Amino acid sequence: MTEIRQKFKANSRFFYGKNTVMAMALGRDAATEKAEGLHKVSQLLKGQCGLMFTNETEKKVIKFFKEYSESDNARAGQEVDVDISLEKGPLPQFAFSVEPQLRCLGLPTKLEKGVIELIDDFIVCKAGDKLNPEQAKILKLLDHKLSHFQVNVIAHWSADKGLTTY
């Protein structure tokens, strides 16, 4: 989101928060809405969502979000579609100070002359598994990005056109 905010920082504002609070700010019904038809937007606030207020054209915003996708770290509870395992041997990508953290995450490691070494082969996850928090942290440390971050635009509201849903 930081990258998206930077792209639109000159003429846009993003709001995230509790859906009920954002809905109250827009107006929950026709009697309490701040502008005509705006209460319909508040009825669409479900799940993880936010509001973007902008002076950009609708076409430019829609085009940007359709094309924008970024690799992201997997989170706990996500189902993975690949097997990921580590082979026995040194893990030179990690500083020696990370070794206790890796051990706490369940990796069979030891410190050998300042280099972290994996004592045995280690299966991080198998295809079809739902990740637990430890597996997600291991994948993040290994920089295995198994998710994609994407923003789905579900509606557009303007004072002259009203509400348009996609």
Domain membership flag for residue 75: no
- Which pLDDT tens digit goes with each residue over 28-42? 888 988 888 889 999
**CA distances (Å), origin 6, targets 3, 10, 11, 15, 50:** 5, 8, 10, 14, 16
**% of the chain beyond a pLDDT of 90:** 58
Domain membership flag for residue 133: yes
Indicate yes or no: pTM above 0.85.
no
- Which pLDDT tens digit goes with each residue over 104-158? 999 999 998 889 999 999 999 999 989 999 999 999 998 888 888 889 899 999 9
- Which pLDDT tens digit goes with each residue over 64-74? 999 998 888 88
- The number of distinct structural domains making up the chain is 2
Domain that holds residue 11: 2-69+150-165
Mean pLDDT across the chain: 90
Question: What CATH number did the domain enclosing 13 receive?
Answer: 3.30.70.1730
Residues 158 and 141 in one domain: no
